[in-house]
Amino acid sequence: MVVLALFSADSLDNASEIATTLAVIFVMMGFIGLFSILSSRYLLPRLFRRIADNKDVFLIVAIGWAFLFIAIAEGFDLSVEVGAFLAGISLAQLPYSKELEDRITPITDFFILVFFASIGLQIEGLGSLLAFWQEAAVASVVLMVGNFWIMFYLIDREGFSVETSFIGSINMVQVSEFSLVVGALALAQGYIGPDVLGYLTLMALLTMTLSTYIIAYNHAIYERVSPWFSRFEDGKKADREIKEYNNHAVAIGYDEITERALPVLKDAYDDVVVIDRKTDHIEQVKDEKQYEYVFGDFRHKEVRKAANLSKASFVLSSSVQTEVNEILLAETNDEAVVFVEAERIADARRLYDSGAAYVILSTYLTAATLCEYLEQYFTDPSAFEAATQADIERIRQRQVATNDSSSLFESTPSTGGGADD
C-alpha cells in the first residue's frame, strides 16, 4: 500500500521530498485505517444486519462502501487501490462476508479481465514484451527459488512441520499480480517505460504458468524431495489445530421444522451448523449459543464450503426447491444421511432417486398428525388437551422470539429466507 501511495505522489525529486511524502502517507493511511477498523466493529455490523435480507441492497451497499473508501483515498491524494484495499479489510470482518464474497466474484472476475487487458494495451507490441526476455527468464528462476526459501524459513521458524512449510512455500513461488499493479501505476507516472512493464509482465506469465503445475503436483514433489528435507525435522514442531467441521450435522434454513429438530441433532453430533440468509434467524441461532451458523444463500459455493458440506454426516434441508436439494445431494458424501423437503410427489420421487434418505412431504405429515390428534380426541381427551396445550405454548414462545427479532430488524422487507431465498 505504501508503494502504491508513493507512486501516486506528484513528485519524488529528492530524499527530503520522499521522506516528507512517506510521513504524510503514513499519517493519512493511519486515519483511513482507523476509520476502517472502527466502522467494521461499530457501524457496519448494524448497517448490514438491517439490509442483509435484501440481496440487491446488500450488494449495492457493499460496492458503495468500497467507492466511499476510494473517494476518501483520492481526497487524501492516495491511490484508489489503497482505498479499495482498506474497504475490503473492513468488509471481511463481517459475518456476512462469505455471502458477499460469492456475490461479488463475477464482478471481480470481470474487472480482473479488464485489468489484465489494460496491462496488455500499455505494452507496445511483442517487441516490448520480449525486450528483456533473457533477463525475465533469469529473474523468474531467481525469484521463484528465493521466494521458496524465504517463505520456507518464515513458516518453519513458526514451528510448523516440514511438510506444511514446504507445501506452503512452494505454493507461493510465483510473482504476484501486485507487481503488475505497481508496474502499471509506475508507467502512468512516467517512472518506467513500456519495455520495463513488458519485462514485469513476461516474468509474471512465466512464474504463474510454472506455479500452476507446481501447485497441482506439490505433494508429489514433496514425496520426491522429503528425504533431503528431513534434516529440518524437529520433534517440537507440529501443525496448529485448525477447527474444521467433520462428521457434523448441517441444517439448511431455520424454520419450525429445523428449530424442533436441532436439539435432537445436537444430542447426536458434536457440531451442528445452521445455514440461513435471514439476519433475524441467524441472530436467534446465535443467541441460543448451541449451534454454529453460516450466513448466506445455500446455492452459493462459498457458503457450502464454509459449512464443509462434503464432510457432513447428516444434512437436513427445509427448502422445497428441488434444484437446491439436488445440489445438496450431489455434494454430500455417499455415507451421509440426507433429509430434504418437497411439495409434490413427483419431486419427492426425484429426490429419492438422487439418494435422499427421507423426503419430508408437509401435506402427508399434516394429515398423519391430524389423524393422531383426532384419535386422541375421541379415545383420550386428556392426552389431546396436553398435546394442544404444548402446541399453544410453542406458538407463544415462537411469537415472543419473532417479536423480539422484529424490534431489532424492522427496516427492509425480506426477499425470502434460508435456501428458498
266 with 368, same domain?
yes
Q: Render pLDDT for 68-103 as a digit per residue (tens, 0 to 9).
A: 888 887 777 777 777 787 788 888 777 777 777 777
State the cell numbers at 91.
468488509
User: Is-contact 256 395, C-beta < 8 A?
Assistant: no
pLDDT band at 138 (very low <50, low <70, confident <90, very high): very high
Q: Which residue carries 464443509 as its cell?
A: 308
Domain boundary among 242, 274, 293: 242
Q: Render pLDDT for 204-244 as a digit per residue (tens, 0 to 9).
A: 889 989 988 999 988 888 888 888 887 777 766 655 556 67
179 with 92, same domain?
no
211 with 291, same domain?
no
Q: Taking Cα atoms as reference points, which of 23, 117, 119, 43 lies closest to residue 87?
A: 43
Q: SS3 of 176, please?
A: coil
Q: How many percent of the chain have pLDDT more than 70?
A: 86
Mean pLDDT calculated for residue range 132-150:
90
Q: Taking Cα atoms as reference points, which of 251, 104, 57, 67 lies closest to residue 49?
A: 57
State the cell numbers at 277.
440468509
306 with 222, same domain?
no
97 with 116, same domain?
yes
State the cell numbers at 225.
524431495
225 with 354, same domain?
no
214 with 158, same domain?
yes
State the cell numbers at 214.
507446481
pLDDT band at 404 (very low <50, low <70, confident <90, very high): low
Q: Render pLDDT for 323-343 as a digit per residue (tens, 0 to 9).
A: 888 888 888 888 899 998 888
CB atoms within 10 A of CB 165: 23
pLDDT above 70 (res 35): yes
pLDDT above 90 (res 38): no
99 with 146, same domain?
no
Contacts 24+ apart (CB under 8 A), 407-416: 408/49, 408/280, 408/283, 409/49, 409/50, 409/53, 409/279, 409/280, 409/283, 411/50, 411/51, 412/50, 412/51, 412/53, 412/54, 412/57, 413/53, 413/54, 414/53, 414/54, 414/278, 415/53, 415/54, 415/55
Strand partners, 342: 361
State the cell numbers at 152.
520456507
Q: Render pLDDT for 158-210 as a digit per residue (tens, 0 to 9).
A: 778 888 888 888 888 888 777 887 787 778 777 788 888 888 888 988 998 99
Specify the pairing of strand 358-361 against strand 292-295: unpaired
pLDDT of residue 419: 43
1 with 55, same domain?
yes
175 with 114, same domain?
no
259 with 212, same domain?
no
Domain boundary among 105, 122, 139: 122
234 with 299, same domain?
no
Element of type H or E holding 215: helix 194-216
Domain boundary among 219, 242, 265: 242
For residue 163, give its domain range.
Answer: 129-242
pLDDT of residue 7: 58
pLDDT band at 409 (very low <50, low <70, confident <90, very high): very low
pLDDT of residue 142: 92
Q: How many domains does the chain have?
A: 3
CA 260, 407, 298, 349 torsion-angle sign: positive
Rounded CA separation 93/361 (Å) = 39
